[in-house]
Structure 1
Amino acid sequence: MLAVVGTIPDPDVPVTEGLADISNQGLTVDGLRVAPDRGTPALLAAAAAACATLGLPAPYAFLVGDEGLGHGSRALYRHLADVLPGRRFSTLVFHYLMPDVMWHDKVLFAVEAMPERPRLIADAGFMYAAKMSGQAASYDLFTPDAGELAFLADETAPHPFYTRGFVLHEENRVPDLIARAYRGENAATTLLVKGGTDYIADATGVLFTVDGPGEEAMEAMGGTGDTVAGMAAALMESGRSAPMAAWCAARANRLAGRLARPNPGSRIAEIIPHIPEALRQALAEEPVP
């Protein structure tokens, strides 16, 4: 089973876990209704839609409220460290959590104590924590955008705030930054770098690129990177390799945007209903490994 870990921007939400249910009424986890507009809810909704399309069980979710102060994140870290050794998940994706190296390492120790080690995906804050802890190589997939890749590529930066200026805003140098991240051992086994062109890479270099179809309105829409990560997690849960899952997710995300015909006022929740058809189209085009 796939499990998704992350936060929602409501400090009153306690640590909550359960199966994710997505319907016309929205996204629900253990009675908690969440708007899948961006962030972890968008990732979770995309993963749920993809799992249903692939014939997989609904993803399991571990959520908590956190507005950025870290209190909720620490409570969720603590909960995961306590419960993961007794749980069975085949894929775990970690998303928005306040980066905390000590708690990251405790969670990773708990993962290593699970009955079967799941494949690990990290995005956003948890990806930062993985890099800051020196444990990036423990992960199967990171899903950074070009700015986040700059942090991974900066071997001296202890925190994203300290990323050196010469590697910022360098989307046209993504292959160089990918190579730098691997040289510094600050990348997962596979990278899906999201941007105007999506890059799928490993330590040998760029494996695939995805640059179409393009929808200009999606460039400024918050949450599009979250839906890519959610679909990639579901595709890995289906048994695909990380590079194949990343390629299909990147392509399907673009196809979903084309099917939705978004405008500058559209929200990511309008894209998610198109994921099943987009995913079917992408899978029909899946490259031979």
Structure 2
Amino acid sequence: MPAATWDPQQYLRHADHRSRPFVDLLARVPELPAEGRPPRIADLGCGPGNVTRLLAERWPAAHVTGFDNSPAMLAGADELAGPTGGGGRLDFAFADAADWTPAPGTYDLILSNATLQWVPGHPDSFPAWVGALVPGGTFAFQVPGNFDAPSHVLMRDLAASPHWRDRLGDVLRHADAVLSPGAYLDRLAGLGCEVDAWETTYQHLLVGEDPVLDWVKGTGLRPVLTALADDRAATEEFVAQYRTLLREAYPPTAHGTVFPFRRVFAVARRTDG
């Protein structure tokens, strides 16, 4: 699957809804084991940094680094970098979650928010990431679990249709992009972690014209928009066809458009020393 290009402004158009799972994940992260030293925290796939700064607010003495492989996202995040109120600091750096291998015992917390679904085979990296935790440290993440929802199924079916498959047949992710909560629990427990894994389906109430299309333009549709970026007419044609399908799948109500969104969470605390 080709790498997608990102638009921070489009991504942030639904920032309130997108931030909710991060806040829910963060609420389940235990206190960090650092004693007598500033905690070291990594946010893997930080995007524009809007939620990374919440880590610095919870642990104001920590050195928090947000990592991302999108120059556009990092450019926006860099505006948030600097010292924090508790004597810590917030900074950002380029890294790709597909090959990020921190040194053993480096971090008190490694957290990833809505990123690992873009990384094929990401559970294979868990041993290295758990190994990078200090004893008692935590690895926590959440990933979308909605790949069988109409928003994604319709997108894949359209991309695989005879008109589009030559250009788009291999650019989108499928339902196996993420594991079940139980499968994540099993993987992480096998690495010597105490694991809390769960799933939640949010019922987002979106407003405006074609709000589900507006949402996916910032995330799931990015590979299509990237693949068609050199052909404006083709982009407009695909988006128009997809818009029609979404309007049927997600009809507006008197209060807005309901957009169910399942997410999978795991919080793994290293207990094997």
TM-score by length of structure 2 reads 0.31
Bigger share in helix: 1
Q: Greater RCO between the two (CA within 8 Å, min separation 6)?
A: 2
The structure that has the greater radius of gyration is 2
